[in-house]
């Protein structure tokens, strides 16, 4: 075997596991990625759609910025990530205008005192208290801890940003409470987020360098067709070889077998049935994966390049229901956090609306939502249309991995090692771990790498 470890997937989880095992574990690591661009949901494209513009694959602010796990995993392998300013506030749309959370919370001293008491209570929650809410909804938690009114509306907006789920009745309370608690303890804010200088690629670039500096390799454009299981162990993987001239609907390519002592599947659980033969694993585990694999969320949106800035705020815009699409809305002016991702004097805006997986994955529904979002943007940012130089539509079906719903968060997530297969592991935000998507994936990578190194010691 040429490799100690094969990692399937080059998102931050796969690259993080690979970098840690290469740097700290002395392992020779091969990372296989089906796309021709590394990063997974953090893919970043330079000089697109023209010189000076740099776009990510979706709308991202990173929870806690330099105080979060995505930063920690880079520090751990000796790589530095620079950050722009932390988000100053969340702007909410009220009475046909954007207002800050501070303005909304300044309704009365009574509400301010109630909100302070609420945040103090959340910050003091133990891990066990948080976990006790993993099977219940955030609406249930609000019913037990808040009264109807501005504070409840504020909490629902925060929770939508955290979970990418429109309704509190569908949000896993344990996950919302964990994210809020960590923000309060580390930054003394209910929500705190940052954007890395150079775009999302800045979070994975150093991890790639670490793997290569320690004798490893990243192979892009190499889709894994199967994880090979034999005699209770993972033997290696079967990788698609040269595909020939036939179109996809007509071809069956040759394959290459690559062996290793450990295999890590660093891709979302909804992709596991495509590479794992579940009949080789315990039926209870396979049935659980099949039961939850479609519990994912979606979004559709536009990356928008503006000829001139329309705001100087370093902030996040959010709305629980837009006028036309009737869906939750999120946006932020990315170039206000990092001026290097747009040409001088221009502005890059990230926007999206949150929707169900089915809506994001079906072409006609997706296109209709994009049309409605375009109408919403004319209402929410009237000055945007005349300033628009280009607009890049995108969608993500499975934007946060496993949906943060009751019974799907915290202790309910699948384990990091396959039952009965002692050298097959998993990493990513759809497995054990907490936090918003990128930090959850980074946390999972660190935990997975620790498990592998402990097993080999």
Dihedral angle of Cα 77, 79, 85, 88, to the nearest 10 degrees: -10
3-state SS of 345-371?
Answer: CCEEEEEEEEEEHHHHHCHHHHHHHHH
Structure tokens at 335: 């170039």
Last residue of a domain, one of 190, 210, 238: 190
410 and 271 in one domain? Answer: yes
In a domain, 93, yes or no: no
Structure-derived torsion over alpha carbons of residues 421, 440, 304, 104, reported in degrees to the nearest 10: 150
Instruction: Say if residue 263 is in the same domain as residue 327.
Output: no
Query: Is 95 part of a structural domain of the chain?
Result: no
pLDDT number for residue 110: 67
Residue by residue, DSSP assigns 132-195 as TTTTSBHHHHHHHH--SSHHHHHHHHHHHHHH--S-GGGSBHHHHHHHHHHHHHHHSSS--EE-
Q: Which domain holds residue 385?
A: 56-87+297-399
Domain tally for the chain? Answer: 3
Q: Are residues 391 and 425 in the same domain?
A: no
pLDDT in 10s for each residue of the chain, 457 residues: 689 999 999 999 999 999 999 999 999 999 999 999 999 999 999 999 999 999 999 888 999 999 999 999 999 999 999 999 998 678 989 889 998 877 765 656 667 788 888 999 999 999 999 999 999 999 999 999 988 877 888 888 889 888 878 789 999 999 999 999 999 999 888 888 999 999 999 999 999 999 999 999 999 999 999 999 998 999 999 998 766 777 777 777 778 999 999 999 999 999 999 999 999 999 999 999 999 988 888 889 999 999 999 999 999 999 889 999 999 899 999 999 999 999 999 999 999 998 888 898 899 999 999 999 999 999 999 999 999 999 999 998 777 778 899 999 998 999 999 999 999 999 999 998 788 889 999 999 999 999 999 997 5
Burial of 334 (0-12, 13-18, 19+ CB in 10 A): buried
Q: Which residues have a Cβ under 8 Å from the Cβ of 180 and sit 6 or more positions away?
A: 119, 122, 158, 162, 190, 191
Question: Model-level pTM?
Answer: 0.93
Residues 356 and 273 reside in one and the same domain: no
Q: Identify whether the C-beta of residue 169 lies closer than 8 Å to the C-beta of residue 363.
A: no
CATH number of residue 234's parent domain: 3.50.50.60
Of 165, 190, 215, which residue sits at a domain end?
A: 190
Q: What are phi and psi of 171, to 5 degrees?
A: -95, 135
Two tokens, residue 328? 């939750």
Could you tell me the CATH number of the domain that includes residue 122?
A: 1.10.405
Examine the domain organization and report whether 216 and 136 are in the same domain.
Answer: no
pLDDT of residue 241: 74
Q: Is residue 94 part of a domain?
A: no
Contacts of 279 (CB under 8 A, 6+ apart): 286
pLDDT of 71: 97
pLDDT of residue 104: 67
Kindly state whether residue 17 falls inside one of the protein's structural domains.
Answer: yes
Same domain, 289 and 414: yes
Under DSSP, is residue 418 helix (H, G, I), strand (E, B) or coil?
coil
Residue 342 lies in a domain: yes
Instruction: Write out the two tokens for 58.
Output: 């979706």
Which of 455, 428, 421, 422 minimizes the C-alpha distance to 444? 428
Instruction: Pick the closest to residue 158 from 133, 183, 134 (CA basis).
Output: 183
- Would 51 be classed as within a structural domain? no
Residues 307 and 393 reside in one and the same domain: yes
Q: Which two tokens stand for residue 456?
A: 């080999």
340 and 284 share a domain? no
Q: Tell me, what's the pLDDT at 106?
A: 60
In a domain, 160, yes or no: yes
One domain for residues 262 and 409: yes
116 and 184 within one domain: yes
Are 302 and 394 a contacting pair, CB within 8 Å?
Answer: yes
Q: Torsion angle of alpha carbons 101, 104, 107, 113, nearest 10°?
A: -30
Q: d(Cα 440, Cα 340) in Å, to the nearest integer?
A: 27
Residues 386 and 421 placed together within one structural domain of the fold: no
49 in a structural domain: no
Q: Do 429 and 444 belong together in one domain?
A: yes
74-127 residue pLDDT tens:
999 999 999 999 986 789 898 899 988 777 656 566 677 888 889 999 999 999
**Domain boundary residue, one of 190, 225, 241:** 190
């Amino acid at each position: 075997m040429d490799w100690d470890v094969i990692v399937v997937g080059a998102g931050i989880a796969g690259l993080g596991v690979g970098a840690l095992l290469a740097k700290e574990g002395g392992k020779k690591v091969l990372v296989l990625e089906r796309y021709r661009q590394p990063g997974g949901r953090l893919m970043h494209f330079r000089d697109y759609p023209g010189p000076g513009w740099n776009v990510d694959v979706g709308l991202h602010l990173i929870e806690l910025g330099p105080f979060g796990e995505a930063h920690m995993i880079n520090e751990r392998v000796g790589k530095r990530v620079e950050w722009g300013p932390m988000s100053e506030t969340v702007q909410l749309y009220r009475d046909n205008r954007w207002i800050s959370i501070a303005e909304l919370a300044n309704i009365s001293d009574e509400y301010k005192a109630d909100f302070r008491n609420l945040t103090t209570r959340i910050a003091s929650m133990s891990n066990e208290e948080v976990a006790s809410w993993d099977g219940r909804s955030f609406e249930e938690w609000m019913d037990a801890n808040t009264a109807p009114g501005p504070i409840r509306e504020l909490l629902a907006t925060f929770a939508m940003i955290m979970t990418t789920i429109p309704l509190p009745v569908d949000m896993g309370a344990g996950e919302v409470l964990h994210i809020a608690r960590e923000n309060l303890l580390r930054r003394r804010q209910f929500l705190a987020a940052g954007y890395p200088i150079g775009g999302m690629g800045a979070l994975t670039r150093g991890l790639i360098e670490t793997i290569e500096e320690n004798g490893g390799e990243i192979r892009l454009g190499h889709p894994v067709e199967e994880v090979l299981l034999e005699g209770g162990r993972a033997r290696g993987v079967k990788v698609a070889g040269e595909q020939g001239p036939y179109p996809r609907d007509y071809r069956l390519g040759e394959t290459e077998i690559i062996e290793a002592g450990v295999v890590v599947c660093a891709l979302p659980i909804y992709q596991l049935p495509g590479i794992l033969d579940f009949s080789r694993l315990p039926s209870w585990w396979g049935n659980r994966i099949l039961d939850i694999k479609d519990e994912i969320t979606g979004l559709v949106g536009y990356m928008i390049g503006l000829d001139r800035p329309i705001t100087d705020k370093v902030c996040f815009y959010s709305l629980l229901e837009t006028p036309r699409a009737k869906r939750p809305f999120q946006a932020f002016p990315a170039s206000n956090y990092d001026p290097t991702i747009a040409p001088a004097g221009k502005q890059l805006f990230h926007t999206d609306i949150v929707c169900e997986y089915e809506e994001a994955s079906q072409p006609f529904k997706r296109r209709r939502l994009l049309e409605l979002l375009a109408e919403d943007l004319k209402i929410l940012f009237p000055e945007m249309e005349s300033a628009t130089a280009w607009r890049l539509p995108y969608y993500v079906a499975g934007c946060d991995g496993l949906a943060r719903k009751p019974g799907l968060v915290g202790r309910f997530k699948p384990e990091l090692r396959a039952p009965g297969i002692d050298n097959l592991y998993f990493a990513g935000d759809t497995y054990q771990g907490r936090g918003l998507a990128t930090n959850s994936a980074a946390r999972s990578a660190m935990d997975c790498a620790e498990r592998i190194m402990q097993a080999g010691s």
